[in-house]
Structure 1
Amino acid sequence: MPKPSIFSKDYDEKMRKRKRNRRIAVLIVLIVAVIAIVIASFSSKIGVNVKLGMNKIKGIVITRMNKDSTDKTNKDSNNNSKVKNEETGNNSENKNSDAVVQKEEVKKEETGEYTVKLPNGEEIKLKYSAINNEKNYIEVTPKTIVYDISPSKKQVVVLENGTQNLILFDINGTLNDISKKEYMSSKGTVFSKDSIIKTNTSFIWCALPKFINEDNIIYQSQLPWFNKGSIKYIWKYTISSKVHEHNLNGGLGEVFGADIKYGKLYSDGLEVIIDGNVKIVK
């Protein structure tokens, strides 16, 4: 606005109006400035917030993408592991199945027999079971044969009918005649088994053989006497030394009686019941 002339009749009025307008203009400028400052400050804050918000959103998106990627990787890994586990499981099941089959095969028991002829001409069968070619005797036939199987089931002792011969078989069916063929009295007189049995058919030279361990067999005999009727003695044959004896160890000496029965076999010997009295024969 131009400055009014001092010669104007309303000079004072115009000057007051001019000053008022100037004050209004200054006030407007100040208001505009304040508004501008406020708007600039607000805009700056909004921009920062927007930037932070965008960064936050970006971070969330990236995190989510990473998580999805990780989940996918883990899922693929789990699937692979599951497949491997299933394969391993199947292999394990197959192996276990094979192991069971093999175990069954290992435990498969077969039976066999040796057909042998005794010295008297009688034919018998030595029956055995076999696991992995490991043989164990189980029975001897016919039923008329008196026999005993050793504790390890690797030996059989057989009493031959008629001759009273004592025959030992190993696990391969090899025959060994372990009979006491003769007896020498304290006076030096020799008595032959065959001649004594032939003369007295009821005489008991050897009866009821029984293993007490892998190296010793006991049996009953009327030896060393020929005239004591029903009295029988316990004799022992030692396989390793090939010795027959009736004076037994363990302080037993001569063990004899009219009624002799065998009891339980213990680790320290065989229980023998003689006329009702129990003794342990080693």
Structure 2
Amino acid sequence: MGKPSIFSKDYEKKMKKRRIRIIGTFLAILFIVVGAWFYRRADIKNILSKNKINTEKNKEDNKKTLTTDNGDKNKENKESKEEIKKEEGYDFKLSDGENLKVIYEINDKDKKFKYIHPLDSKTIYDISPSAKLMTIYDPKVQRIYRMNIEGKVEDITNPRYTSTNGEFSITREEHLKANPDYIWCSSPKFIDENNIAYVSQLPWFNRSKQYIWIVNLQNNTHRYVQNVEGNDIKLDRLNEEGLGIIVDGEKATLKPSGELIK
């Protein structure tokens, strides 16, 4: 656009139109530039927004996948552990009618006794060091039972007492029928895999003192432990040397041989 001559009679009018055209052109250019800037910004914002949504979606998908994978792995591990380690039980009924469940654990095909159910049962029982044997005491009839890990039950109660000289002999049933409060056997505990100790008033019938006997599981023989006598005998826990015992408050250890360590 040329600039009008200053000597032109329409100089002012032409200059005014010229300024208007310049301003209009400037505003048009400014409008285009600003519009392009806003459009570009909106486009960038839209792209960033889509990227953010896609990123969050990917994170969520990854999280779900990870959770699902971990859940599947945990489920597989749990199922695997349950397959390897689970509890089952054998039924056992006491003479008073109480029904028990002898629980054992299977760990990779290896069975071990755990406890007796119901847990609030007052049944006296003991588990051998290997957890492959269990004793169950039936107090009503004073019988000691041994159960192996396959569920086989054997009555290991001493059925008859015979004096050392053989002059006197009496069965458990006969004596308990005549003297129901007499302790023929009570509180059996393992000393080792082959020997179980229990408390009894044998070999005396006219005394209230208590003594310790040991039954050997290999030959099913019962022997009297010498030099152990008390008003209150408790069979405690196994230790490195044998079975802990408490005789009238005094502690000692009973070995499978019947030897006493004080």
TM-score bracket for the superposition, by shorter chain length:
0.5 to 0.7
SS of alignment partner, residue 80 of structure 2: helix
Q: Are residue 221 (structure 1) and residue 200 (structure 2) matched? A: yes
Partner of 2:188: 209
Corresponding residue for residue 44 of structure 1:
none
Kindly indicate whether residue 237 of structure 2 is the aligned counterpart of residue 264 of structure 1: yes
The residue number in structure 1 matching 2:123 is 145
Cα displacement (A) at 1:131: 1.2
Q: Where does residue 197 of structure 1 map in the other structure?
A: 176
Match of 1:135 among 84, 97, 111: 111
1:279 to 237, 252, 256: 252
Gaps of 5+ in 2: 1-68, 256-262
Q: Which structure has greater helix proportion?
A: 1
- Cα distance 1:193–1:222, how it changes in 2: closer, same or farther (>3 A)? same
C-alpha separation in 2, matches of 1:258 and 1:165: 22
Q: Which residue of 1 aligns with 2:220?
A: 242
User: What's the C-alpha RMSD, in Å, of the aligned pairs?
Assistant: 2.6
The DSSP-based 3-state class of the residue aligned with 1:257 is coil
Between the two proteins, the alignment pairs up a number of residues equal to: 181
Whether the aligned pair in 2 keeps the contact of 1:246 and 1:254 (CA below 8 Å) is no
Larger relative contact order, structure 1 or 2 (CA cutoff 8 Å, min sep 6): 2
Q: Is the 8 A contact 2:95 2:140 kept in 1?
A: no
Partner of 1:66: none
State how far apart, in whole Å, the 2-side matches of 1:187 and 1:213 are: 30
Larger Rg, first or second structure (1 or 2) = 1
TM-score, with length taken from structure 1: 0.58
* Aligned 8 A contact 2:194 2:218 in 1: yes
Specify the alignment match of 1:105 in structure 2: 80
Q: Is the 8 A contact 1:106 1:132 kept in 2?
A: no
Aligned-pair identity (%): 34
Q: Which runs of 5+ in 1 are unaligned?
A: 1-93, 248-252
Distance 2:221 2:241 in 1: 20
